[in-house]
Structure 1
Amino acid sequence: MEFKGSHRIPAARTQVWAGLNDPAVLQACVPGCEAFEPTGPDTYAAVVVAAIGPVKARFKGKLAIADKVEDTGYTIIGQGDGGIAGFGKMTATVTLTDTDDGCELVYVAVAEVGGKLAQIGSRLIGSVTNKLADEFFKRFSAAMTERVGQA
């Protein structure tokens, strides 16, 4: 499944970049994120609780950042295991560009699910994924607005 989106964030690109590389900001912005800990340079261990249709699970996973270009973008490679609920894998490319009122973040993600999650159907998974992405960007935009106000 492929997911695409873009969001305008009312902050300078350097501030958005800093937020995208701050584990505390990411943990606060990812819906259901219980833990987001660095395990090495640009690698993290995460625990996220998510409900997709009738399946609710606690996913433990790994995330790595690759192809990093300062203040411009990177690729996120992640995988999570939800036990009996199944697993998920994702690769996402994130790109930042300047706008008149801040920064635009564009993402293109490809996800794969297995186990019980795969039985739910791609339409429901797509709907939930888009809802979670929207919630992330609302939280992230608010966090960046707060940072700009403190600067």
Structure 2
Amino acid sequence: MATTMEGTFTVPAAQELVWTKLNDPEVLRLCISGCDSLEKTSATHFVATAKMRVGPLRTTVRGKLDLYDVDAPHGCRIVGEGEGGIAGFARGIADVRLFSVPEGTLVTYAVEATVGGRLSHFGGKLINGVAKRMADGFFANFAATLPARPVTAA
């Protein structure tokens, strides 16, 4: 089953800081719901394990992510795949772009993913809902890792 998702999120921090933190394995581990481990094995390769729940199905996913077309601090393409044993698999590509805006950094993403195995039996609506919830949770957690912006008096 194939699915797509697009979104934007404004992070109240400078573009360079956002880029640095988006490439920090410890920050990513803390921001990804259910992530047990995330290791950066080279400048463009990560391996991870995470516990996930999709509908009634719970599984541990082991995966890898590779960064391509890296244009620091403006964005990159992320190619990933994960195996969840009997639950199935997921593979995807995400294009992530960062733009400096007055409020901080605008992050845009466009994801194309394929899900197979038991996961694919839940249908697009449930899979898309889980993916959207994970993306929203990631960015909320990510924003919480950033230093508070000083309040300026008017």
Bin of the TM-score, shorter chain as denominator length = over 0.9
The answer for the alignment partner of 1:20 in structure 2 is 22
The answer for the alignment partner of 2:94 in structure 1 is 92
Equivalent in 110, 120, 123 of residue 122 of structure 2:
120
How far, CA to CA, are the matches of 2:133 and 2:103 in structure 1? 25
TM-score of the pair, normalised by structure 2: 0.93
The answer for the alignment partner of 2:111 in structure 1 is 109
1:109-146 superposed Cα distances (whole Å, 9 cap, x missing partner): 01110000001101000001100100000000111235
1:138 aligns with 2:135: no
The answer for the alignment partner of 2:43 in structure 1 is 41
The residue matched to 1:125 in structure 2 has which SS? Answer: helix
Structure 1: which 5+ residue stretches go unaligned? none
How far, CA to CA, are the matches of 2:19 and 2:42 in structure 1? 19
The residue matched to 2:146 in structure 1 has which SS? Answer: helix
TM-score of the pair, normalised by structure 1: 0.94
Q: Which structure has the highest helix share of the two?
A: 1
How far is 1:70 from its partner? 1.1
| AA aligned opposite 1:143 | T
Q: Identity across aligned pairs (percent)?
A: 36
The answer for the alignment partner of 2:61 in structure 1 is 59
Moved over 3 A (4+): none
| AA aligned opposite 1:99 | V
The residue matched to 1:134 in structure 2 has which SS? Answer: helix
The residue matched to 1:47 in structure 2 has which SS? Answer: strand
The answer for the alignment partner of 2:7 in structure 1 is 5
How far, CA to CA, are the matches of 2:23 and 2:46 in structure 1? 11
Structure 2: which 5+ residue stretches go unaligned? none
The residue matched to 1:141 in structure 2 has which SS? Answer: helix
How far, CA to CA, are the matches of 1:129 and 1:145 in structure 2? 27
